[in-house]
Amino acid sequence: MAIFIIAFIYLLTQSYLILNTAIVIYPEIYLFPWLVQKGLIPYRDFFDHHGFLLNYLLSPFVESTFSHLRLVYFIIQSANLGLLFVILRKITNKAGFIYCGFTYIFINYFLSENFLWYEAIITTIYLIIYLLLI
């Protein structure tokens, strides 16, 4: 029961940090999904680009404001935290859960600088793969 309370506190902490800080959305994260949504290919070698899949995943969420992309970023970060909690529950004890959860939240906040980029989705995929491997 204590693990769930700690996880809930960490989720509230991460939500507070994400929602009270400006989320940076670079122009290509908005422009390329918008072009894909319109049925266009942004440039000739678009499919050789390292992130064309993210553009297709984000295309339904592009609108005139950035609120849906911010919601997508919040959901991705919350899913990453939830996957990390499941992994930590399986591989560590309570002290490791507390330390690693705390470390993940603040390293994610201070190093990723709250920007929606390809690494957020890649982290989700890697966490799912690691969860399936253990």
Contact between residue 22 and residue 15 where contact means Cβ atoms under 8 Å apart = no
Contacts of 12 (CB under 8 A, 6+ apart): none
How confident is the model over 75-104, as pLDDT tens digits?
999 999 999 999 999 999 999 999 999 999
Contact between residue 23 and residue 118 where contact means Cβ atoms under 8 Å apart = no
Q: What is the pTM of this model?
A: 0.86
How confident is the model over 47-84, as pLDDT tens digits?
767 677 888 888 888 887 788 888 899 999 999 999 99
CA distances from 127 to 44, 86, 121, 122 (A): 32, 10, 10, 9
Contact between residue 95 and residue 87 where contact means Cβ atoms under 8 Å apart = no
